[in-house]
């Protein structure tokens, strides 16, 4: 059974899902863009017999508070700080970490600062390597290097319904993806302040790439048990990003599934089985 909760963290309402027995090892699930904790709706029941699962929505996402970007600094280090306070509030001192997309820099910021918290990592299309950046990132690099109001405005297309739907369907087997996930994500984009908040994060993403060497240094130094499981047809974070983990972490295992960016939508069972083989 999954239950649903909210807590006050740093004057914000943080929503989270919880499943499994709290006496079992905890796994903290960090979602990506433009989604929220509902992306784990199929995975959590498959793992609940083996793990205590907690999946929060970051500020500005899902059911958590969405302050205006003029009142809240939308950067990945700030989101990591709020999630650190969330972890501390729940008195989590040891946990496995599942990171996807935006969840990777948030999670790796936390792991780098608190390596003693981390029992193992699942990275599902959660990139921390230059080799994992698909072709679209060259255009973003130009935006970061030479920002203008027009370039910033052009990224509003990232929140268009067809763009979001494409993120879910590209690279997936035919008829394998339910409309539930992308329909809810599209609904969240209609909330006040959403676009400007998210545009701040798109601009800040450059600092995640600058932090890759620190994330890789963490992997070399602490060598956590790690499963890099990738939707191999993802055009955003390409499969070489999964393979690169083995360069720094001898305890990394790499596996591909025949899916795209949101691999849980079509391959939740395969991913759950791989997690159980690796960590349970």
Residues assigned a catalytic role: 261
Give CA–CA dist 74/77, Å, rounded. 9
Give CA–CA dist 6/56, Å, rounded. 9
Minimal CA–CA distance to 104: which of 78, 81, 125? 125
Minimal CA–CA distance to 10: which of 80, 99, 61, 63? 80
Tokens matching residue 33: 């863009």
């Amino acid at each position: 059974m999954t239950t649903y909760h909210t807590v006050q963290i740093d004057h914000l309402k943080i929503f989270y899902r919880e499943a499994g027995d709290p006496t079992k090892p905890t796994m903290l699930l960090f979602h990506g863009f433009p989604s929220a904790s509902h992306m784990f709706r199929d995975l959590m029941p498959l793992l609940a017999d083996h793990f205590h699962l907690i999946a929060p929505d970051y500020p500005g996402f899902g059911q958590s508070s969405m302050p205006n970007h003029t009142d809240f600094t939308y950067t990945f280090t700030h989101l990591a700080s709020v999630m650190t306070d969330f972890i501390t509030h729940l008195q989590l001192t040891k946990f496995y970490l599942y990171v996807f997309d935006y969840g990777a820099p948030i999670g790796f910021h936390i792991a780098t600062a608190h390596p003693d918290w981390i029992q193992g990592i699942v990275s599902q299309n959660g990139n921390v390597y230059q080799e994992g950046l698909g072709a679209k990132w060259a255009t973003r690099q130009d935006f970061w290097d030479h920002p203008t109001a027009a370039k910033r405005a052009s990224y509003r297309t990232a929140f268009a319904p067809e763009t979001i739907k494409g993120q879910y369907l590209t690279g997936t087997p035919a008829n394998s993806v339910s409309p539930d996930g992308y329909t809810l994500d599209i609904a969240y984009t209609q909330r006040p302040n959403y676009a400007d908040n998210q545009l701040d994060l798109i601009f800040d993403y450059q600092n995640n790439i600058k932090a890759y060497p620190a994330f890789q240094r963490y992997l070399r130094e602490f060598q956590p048990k790690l499963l890099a499981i990738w939707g191999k047809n993802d055009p955003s974070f390409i499969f070489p990003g999964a393979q690169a983990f083995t360069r720094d972490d001898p305890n990394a295992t790499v596996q591909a599934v025949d899916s795209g960016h949101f691999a849980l939508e079509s391959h939740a069972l395969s991913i759950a089985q791989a997690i159980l083989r690796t960590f349970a």
